[in-house]
Amino acid sequence: MRRFVHEPAPTRIVMGPGSLAMVPAEIARLGCARVLLVHTPSQGAAADRLAGLPDTQVVGRSDQVAMHVPVERAKAMVALATQLQADGCIALGGGSAIGFGKALALELGLPILAIPTTYAGSEVTDILGMTAQGAKVTRREPRLRPRTVIYDPELTLSLPAKLSATSGLNALAHAVEGLYAADVDPIAALEADAALQALATSLPQVVAAPQDLAARSEALYGAWLAGSVLGAVPMALHHKLCHVLGGSFGLPHAEVHSVILPHATAYNAPAAPAAMARIVAALGAPAAAAGLFDLAVSLGAPTRLAELGMAEHDLGRAAELATQNAYGNPAPVTPAGLRSLLDDAFHGRRPTA
Ligand code: NAD
C-alpha cells in the first residue's frame, strides 16, 4: 500500500533558448531593487550581456567563487552584499556560483535567481555544502532554495565536452540515488526515471556535438529533473562519499561523481533491486552499475580515482571519514565495504555485480 509525503518545491522554473532575456521580468517578479550578480569566472561574457539588459537592478558583481564554497570566501561575498545593501542575488554559472548565492541566502536571507550553466542541479535544492578546515559540511534549509531558475541552454553551448560529460554524470547520480532513497515520493521517482532517460539519450549527443542546441536543451531538462530529485530525497552513500572525497581530499566535484557512481551503484545493487531495474530500463543496459560505467567510458569521462589525484594510501582514511556519521542507505555502510568500493574506484575496475 502506498504511504508517502510529497512537498512540491516552490521554485519557479523558466526554461528555453534565449531565456536569459527574461531576467528583468523575473527580477521584477521577485521585487528586488539592488541585485548582486555572482558569476563563474568563465561566464564573464554572459554576465556582461545580463548586466547590459535594462532593469536588471544589478548594483554590483563578483566572480570570486570557488568549488565547495570555502567559508572565508563566502564571508567576503556576504561582506560585499552587505556593503552594497543588496536585496537580491543573481547566481550565474555552475554549482560553485550557485553555492555562493546560497551562502548569501543563508546569512542575509537574499532571494536567489539562479541561472545554471552546468548540469550540477544545485539550483533546485535546499542544500549548501561549505568547506572549512579540510572538511565539507552540508546543511539543508528551505531558505537556501533559489526562488527562480532560468534554464537557457544557449549558455551551456560553451561547456566543453569533457565537463559536459562529468557534469551530466553528476546529474545522473542524483537520479540514481533518488531511486533507492528512503521515503522517495512517487513524483520524485517519476522525475528520476525521466531524468535518467533524458540524460542517457542527450549526453552522448552533447559530447559528440557540443553545439547541438536541441541536445543541450534535453540535457538541461534532465539536469533540472535530476536536481529536483536531489532536492526531494535524503542523500545516501554516493553523495556522502563524494563529499568526503571533494571536501577532505580536494578532488574535483563532477569528476568524482563520474568515477564513484558505478561503484556506489554496484555496492547498493543487491539491496535495491527495484531501483536497479529502473536504471536498467532507462539506460537500456544489461546491468545498472556496468551500464553506468560503460556510459562514463563512452562519454570520455574519468573512471579512476587515481587519475583525479587521489593517493592510494588515503583510501582507508576516506572510507573511515565516510562512515563517521550515520545515514540511510540500502546496503549497510561499513569501513571495510567502502574500502573495497574505493579500491575498485581507484583502479577503475568495471563493476561486475
Ligand atoms: P563549477 O561551478 O565549479 O564549474 C566547473 C567549471 O566549469 C568552472 O571552471 C566553471 O568556470 C566552468 N563552467 C561553468 N559553466 C560553464 C559553461 N557554460 N561554459 C564553460 N565553462 C563553464 O562546477 P559544478 O560541477 O557545476 O558545481 C560544483 C559545485 O557545486 C560543488 O561545490 C558542489 O558541491 C556544488 N553542488 C551543490 C549541489 C547542491 O545541491 N547544493 C548540487 C550539485 C553541486
131 Cβ inside 6 Å of ligand 1: no
Instruction: Give the bridge partners for 116, in sequence order.
Output: 93
Where b means 16+ CB within 10 Å and e means fewer, 5-33 reads eeeebebeebeebebbebbeebbeebebe
The per-residue pLDDT for range 218-239, each reduced to its tens digit, is 999 999 999 999 999 998 999 9
Domain that holds residue 327: 161-347
Average pLDDT over residues 316-344: 94
- Determine the distance separating the centroid of ligand 1 and the alpha carbon of 100, expressed in angstroms: 11
My answer on whether 72 and 175 are in the same domain is no
Q: What share of the chain in percent tops pLDDT 90?
A: 93
Helices (H), 209-287: 213-230, 237-247, 253-268, 273-283
> For ligand 1, is residue 147 a contact (CB within 6 Å)?
no
pLDDT at 218: 98
Residues 180 and 70 in one domain: no
- SS3 call for 138: strand
- State the pLDDT at residue 136: 83
Average pLDDT, the chain: 96
Per-residue DSSP letters for 89-135? EEEEESHHHHHHHHHHHHHH---EEEEESSS--GGG-SEEEEEETTE
Distance 116 CA to ligand 1 centre (A): 8
For residue 353, the model assigns a pLDDT of: 57
Please compute, for residue 103, the number of CA atoms within 13 A of its CA located in the half-sphere on the CB side.
31
- Domain shared by 171 and 297, yes or no: yes
What cell was used for 343?
579500491
pLDDT of residue 2: 87
- The answer to whether the CB of 42 is under 6 A from ligand 1 is yes
- Ligand 1 centroid to Cα of residue 122, in Å, is 9
How far is Cα 22 from Cα 114, in angstroms, rounded to an integer?
12
Q: What does the pLDDT look like over 267-298, one tens digit per residue?
A: 999 999 999 999 999 999 999 999 999 999 99
For residue 35, the model assigns a pLDDT of 98
Shared domain for 131 and 180, answered yes or no, is no
Specify whether 113 is located in the same domain as 197: no
Asked if the model's pLDDT at residue 206 lies above 70, the reply is yes
Q: Among 211, 204, 188, which Cα is nearest to 121's?
A: 188
Task: Say how many Å lie between the CA of residue 352 and the centre of ligand 1.
Answer: 31
Of 156, 173, 200, the residue that ends a domain is 156
Paired sense of beta strands 135-140 and 112-116, if any? unpaired
Amino acid identity of 303?
Answer: T
Residue 4 belongs to a domain? no
pLDDT of residue 184: 84
pLDDT in tens, 112-139: 999 999 999 999 999 999 999 888 899 9
Got the DSSP string for 248-262? TT---HHHHHHHHHH
Which residue among 118, 216, 256 has the greatest number of ligand 1 atoms within 8 angstroms of its CB, and so is best to mutate? Answer: 118
Q: Are residues 53 and 169 located together in one domain of the fold?
A: no
Last residue of a domain, one of 156, 186, 217: 156
Task: Count how many domains the chain has.
Answer: 2
Answer whether residue 4 shows pLDDT above 70.
yes
Residue 140 Cβ contacting ligand 1 at under 6 Å: no
pLDDT digit string (tens) for 140-151?
999 999 999 999
Q: What pLDDT does residue 1 have?
A: 86
- Mean pLDDT score, 79-88: 98
Residues in the chain: 353
Select from 132, 156, 180 the last residue of a domain.
156
Of ligand 1's atoms, which has the minimum distance to the CA of residue 116? 15
